[in-house]
Amino acid sequence: MSETRIQILNKGPIIVAGHVDVVDDEGKAVRQHDPMAICRCGQSGNMPFCDGISKGNMKVCKRAESIL
């Protein structure tokens, strides 16, 4: 059984490693990679993936809270 890991970078994208199915709003598969970086700044030219345009300089970005 493989594991999937989701890492929320501070002022950066969400890194997803492991198997996941990424689909659009109609349920159609989106081409993906493993690992992949999901954009959360809204500025990527390759949505839903990060293209590095924010380069860690997001103006508004909540940091993920650790549970440990």
C-alpha span between 18 and 32 (Å, rounded): 11
Query: What residue is closest to ligand FES based on CB?
Result: 50
Shortest distance in whole angstroms from residue 46 CB to ligand FES = 8
Nearer Cβ to ligand FES (13/16)? 13
Nearer Cβ to ligand FES (13/21)? 13
- What 3-state DSSP class applies to 14? strand
Per CB under 6 A, residues contacting ligand FES are 13, 39-41, 43-44, 50-54
Shortest distance in whole angstroms from residue 52 CB to ligand FES = 6
Exposure of 39 by Cβ count < 10 A (0-12 exposed, 13-18 middle, 19+ buried)? Answer: buried
Write the DSSP symbol of residue 37.
E
